[in-house]
Amino acid sequence: MGKRPKSYYIKCAMKKRKREFSLDAGMKGFLLTCNNNEKQCVREAYNILNEYADKLYGPEKAGSGERDGSDDGEAEEEEEDISKVLEKELHTLKETDSSQRRFQVVESGAKNVIFIRTTLEDPCHLVHAILSDLQETKQQKARYIMRMLPIATTCKAVLEKVLESVESAFDAELGPSTAGQSFYIMAKIRNNNSFSTAGISKEIAGTIITMNSKNSVDYQNPDIVVLVEILKGNCCMSIVRDYFKFKKYNLHEVAKTVTTEPKEGDYQSQDDQGEAKELDTGEETKIEETKTESIKDVSQTPVVAKLTENQKDSSQQVLPELDSSTPTTSASQSTAVVEVQDSRVEDSEDVPSGSGTGTGS
C-alpha cells in the first residue's frame, strides 16, 4: 500500500476540528439570532455573558490562559516589544483547551443563528437574570443580538430521541412528582424537512401530559414555555419562564423604555391649562357678544348723509324729534350725530368705496 497523500491527512484534521466546534448532542448553551452580523453578535454575546456570569458565579477559574505573575514579571513584559507580548498571548491561547472554556461558539448549521456552548449547569438562570436586569434598568446592551434563548439539552433530530430527552430533561419540572403546570410549546424548525411545527408540538405535548396528567396546555397565560429549536440534524430544547413578559426573550424589546404615567403635578398643570382655555374661550365669547350688540345698535340708528360744502359752517345736524305717539327709544337710537367731513380729498388719500351712498331722512 502506497503512502497516502498529504491532502488526506489535512482533510481528516479538518473533520476533527469541525466535529469539535459544531453543534452536537449533549450540549448546553445559548441560541442567539442576529441579522447578518454574526461576528459582531458573537463578540457582543461574549461580553454580556461574561459580565453577568462573573456577577452570579464569580470570575472564570484560572486556566493556562490566565496570567499569573508578580509585579516584576509585569514590569518585564512592559519593557518587551509588542510583538513578543502578542506571541506569548497566542501561545497561551493555543495551550488552553477550548472545551474547558466557560463560553465557546460552535457551528449551528443555520444562517444568522449562533450557538454558544457553556459549561454552566443552568443556562436558563443566567438568561433570566440578564433579561430581568435589562427590564429593570432599561439599559440597552445589545446592538446585534436579537433574541437570546437558553438551551438545557440537545439531542439528535429523531422523534424517538426527542421524546426521550423530554422525559429525562423535564422530569424535575413536569414529572409525576410535581403538582402539574400549564405549558405552551414554541417550536421552530430550520434546515430540516423531516418535521413539521404542528407535528412535533403535538408529539411533545402528548408526552408531557403522559408524564403527569395534571399538566395542561395553555395558550393564553402558561406557567412555562417549552422551547424546541430544530437545526439541521439536532434538536435543542429548554423550559423558560416569563417568556411573554420578557418579549419572547428579545433583548431589544425588553430594554425599550415604557411611557410613564404623568405625576400629580402634571395632572394639575393639565387641569390649570384646561381652566385657562375655558377662561380664554369665555372672554372671546364675551367680546363676540359685545360686537354683535354694537352691530345691532348701529343698524337700528338712522344714518345721516354727509353735509355739502355749503353747510360746512354747521358742524352737527340733529334729527327732528319724533311724535309723542311713537314709543320712546334710547338716545343712541333716536339721534345720530355725524361729524362734518370735507368732501375734498387730498391727492395722497384714497376715497373709500360707498362712503356717500347713504340717504338723509
* 112-156 tens-digit pLDDT: 999 999 999 999 999 999 999 999 999 999 999 999 999 999 999
Residue type, 243: Y
Q: Residue 99: what pLDDT?
A: 60
CB atoms within 10 A of CB 191: 13
Contact yes or no for 56/121 (Cβ under 8 A): no
Q: Residue 343: what pLDDT?
A: 42
Contact yes or no for 123/28 (Cβ under 8 A): yes
Q: Residue 319: what pLDDT?
A: 46
Domain-by-domain residue ranges, the chain?
A: 14-62+74-254
CA distances from 31 to 41, 116, 173, 228, 243 (A): 11, 7, 22, 11, 15
Q: For domain 14-62+74-254, give its CATH number from 3.40.50.300, 3.40.50.261, 3.30.1180.20, 3.30.2130.30.
A: 3.30.2130.30
* Alpha-carbon span 204 to 187, nearest angstrom: 10
Q: Residue 113: what pLDDT?
A: 96
The region, left, alpha or beta by phi > 0 then psi within -120 to 50, assigned to residue 105 is beta
Q: Residue 98: what pLDDT?
A: 56
Question: Scanning the structure block, which residue is given the C-alpha cell 350725530?
Answer: 337
Q: Residue 66: what pLDDT?
A: 42
Cα 70–Cα 72–Cα 76 angle in degrees, nearest 5: 120
Q: Take residue 328 and report the three cell numbers written for it.
A: 320712546
> Which 3 state secondary structure label does DSSP give 117?
strand
Q: Residue 243: what pLDDT?
A: 95
> Which 3 state secondary structure label does DSSP give 32?
strand
* Alpha-carbon span 29 to 26, nearest angstrom: 10
* Alpha-carbon span 241 to 173, nearest angstrom: 12
DSSP designation for 250: B
Q: Residue ranges of the chain with pLDDT lower than 70?
A: 1-2, 12-20, 62-81, 89-99, 257-361
How distant is the alpha carbon of residue 83 from its chain centre?
Answer: 45
Q: Which residues contact 17 (CB under 8 A, 6 or more apart)?
A: none
Please classify residue 248 by burial: count the beta carbons closer than 10 Å to its beta carbon, then call 0-12 exposed, 13-18 middle and 19+ buried: middle
* Alpha-carbon span 42 to 258, nearest angstrom: 28
CB atoms within 10 A of CB 126: 21
What pTM value is reported for the model? 0.61
Residue type, 145: I
Residue type, 141: K
Q: Residue 165: what pLDDT?
A: 95
Q: Residue 4: what pLDDT?
A: 83
**Which residue, 184, 214, 218, is CA-closest to 201?**
184
The 224-231 sheet, strands edge to edge: 153-156, 234-240, 224-231, 182-190, 216-217
Contact yes or no for 306/338 (Cβ under 8 A): yes
